């Protein structure tokens, strides 16, 4: 079964090591696109850590498989609760 066209939005999560098992499953799965929120300055040390963790998730895809597209969005501009 091929890769789907589904996307996942992650909001307000640090992609910390204690949740690595969740993100390992995402990285090895068939999800096509992962959107991850960052809060504040994109160059902040915390946001750099989130971007680094996201890169590690994307690297879990096999070289022969399709890639996982990852984009970041500003958590402050997401209107989740109307």
Least confident of 2-6, 21-25, 48-52: 2-6
Cβ-contact 32, 5 below 8 angstroms: yes
Domain limits, the chain: 10-76
Q: What is the pLDDT of residues 26-80, one digit of tens each?
A: 999 989 999 999 999 999 999 999 999 999 999 998 766 778 999 999 999 988 8
pTM, entire model: 0.85
Residues 6 or more apart whose Cβ sits within 8 Å of residue 21: none
């Amino acid at each position: 079964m091929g890769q789907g066209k589904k996307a996942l939005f992650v909001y307000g999560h640090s992609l910390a090591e204690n949740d690595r098992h969740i993100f390992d499953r995402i990285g090895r799965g068939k999800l096509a696109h992962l959107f991850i929120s960052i809060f504040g300055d994109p160059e902040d040390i915390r946001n750099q850590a989130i971007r680094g963790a996201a890169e590690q998730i994307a690297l879990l895809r096999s070289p022969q498989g399709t890639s996982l597209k990852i984009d970041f969005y500003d958590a402050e501009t997401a209107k989740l609760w109307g």
